[in-house]
Amino acid sequence: MQINEKQQETYWAGQRKRRHPSNPTVAAFAQPKLDFVLRHIALPPAPLILDVGCGNGYFTYYLQKLGRTIGLDYAAAMLRQNPVDYLLQGSALNLPYPDNAFDLSFCSNLLHHMADPIASIREMKRVSKQYVVISEPNRNNPAILALGLFKPEERESLRFTGPFLRSLAEQAGLTILTCRTMGFVTPNRMPRPVVKLVSRFNRPNPLGAYIVLAARCDE
């Protein structure tokens, strides 16, 4: 499988309005993952956070509650939907920040859209003095598997499992603190009654819809 970069660019440029990050379904999607991560990392007081591939702010909105958060995304159409104050259009392959500028670099559902995911992780490591956190779809979840099979823009998600994401992070020079699959809530179209049902199963689960990895930026 190979990323069609033009296809990806066209797809994200044409995104229509999505749920606002404050929507309860989005909260049920994002907050349990951040709670899990915070059990494995120790952020300093008033941390500076970078959300790479921030999109319309599904995680940026909640990360800013932890500390000042800057959201960066390549697609202007997505940034226009992001309600966070500090936003920048840019590439995950060339982050416009000096080394060790942030306490935490974060990305969600970005790497399976990238032609060179390891290069993106290395950039996140470069600009972070402490931690890198990554969340990606888990191919072993039936809904994620179906999406990858039938939606061309999501095809590369078929490679992503916990061991695969761990391998990418290790190749980028990170020290893994935790890597688990978890959560069944999807943020865009899942009906509220279904959200209430599946939110009971947010704890780590081999068939969870997403992989959550936290790593340390050792020299």
Query: Which of 143, 178, 181, 136 is CA-nearest to residue 160?
Result: 136
Q: For residue 51, what are the β-bridge partners?
A: 71, 106
CATH code of 141's domain: 3.40.50.150
CA distances from 64 to 8, 22, 67, 209 (A): 27, 12, 5, 24
Whether 71 maps to a domain, the answer reads no
**Sequence-ordered alpha helix ranges (H) in the chain:** 5-13, 24-38, 60-63, 76-79, 117-127, 142-150, 162-171, 192-198
Residue 57: count other Cβ atoms within 10 Å of its Cβ: 27
Whether 110 maps to a domain, the answer reads yes
| Residue located via tokens 């494995």 | 40
Whether 137 maps to a domain, the answer reads yes
Q: What is the pLDDT of residues 133-188, one digit of tens each?
A: 999 999 999 999 999 999 888 889 999 999 999 999 999 999 999 999 999 999 98
Whether 59 maps to a domain, the answer reads no
Per residue of the chain (219 residues), what is the pLDDT tens digit?
A: 455 555 555 554 556 678 899 999 999 999 999 999 999 999 999 999 999 999 999 999 999 999 999 999 999 989 999 999 999 999 999 999 999 999 999 999 999 999 899 999 999 999 999 999 999 999 999 999 999 999 888 889 999 999 999 999 999 999 999 999 999 999 988 998 999 899 988 888 999 999 999 999 986
Domain count along the chain: 1
Whether 83 maps to a domain, the answer reads no
CA R_g for the chain = 16
Query: What is the rounded CA–CA span in Å between residue 174 and residue 168?
Result: 9
Whether 190 maps to a domain, the answer reads yes
Whether 56 maps to a domain, the answer reads no
- Classify residue 55 as left (phi > 0), alpha (psi -120 to 50) or beta: left
Residue-number span of the structural domain to which 166 is assigned: 5-14+23-43+91-216
> pTM score, two decimals?
0.92
Whether 55 maps to a domain, the answer reads no
